[in-house]
Amino acid sequence: PGDIRSLLVWIKKNLLKERPELFIQGDSVRPGILVLVNDADWELLGELDYQLQDQDSVLFISTLHGG
């Protein structure tokens, strides 16, 4: 485990194959992407600095849509 910042780096390197800019902006997620850690908003937990624990559940929900 590390912090959410290191998780985002890992996701970018290992999972995002096309257009990472739709998920990552700078060293964080794009505005409009809700991040939940164990069903709690990451803003309440320290955002990028939250230290992940074994068995943590991290969920990314896009609130963006086309129109």
Q: Which of 61, 58, 55 is nearest to 4 (CA)?
A: 58
**Does residue 67 fall inside a structural domain?**
no
How would you label 24-47 residue by residue, b for 16+ Cβ within 10 Å and e otherwise?
beeeebeeebebebeeeebeebeb
pLDDT digits (tens, 9 = 90+) for 30-58: 999 999 999 999 999 999 999 999 999 99
Write down the pTM of the prediction: 0.86
46: containing domain: 4-62
Q: ∠ CA 2-4-9 to the nearest 5 degrees?
A: 90
pLDDT confidence of residue 64: 79
**Does residue 12 fall inside a structural domain?**
yes
Count: domains in the chain: 1
**Does residue 36 fall inside a structural domain?**
yes
What's the DSSP call for residue 5?
A: H
d(CA 59, CA 41): 10
Q: Residue 25 is part of a domain; what is its CATH number?
A: 3.10.20.30
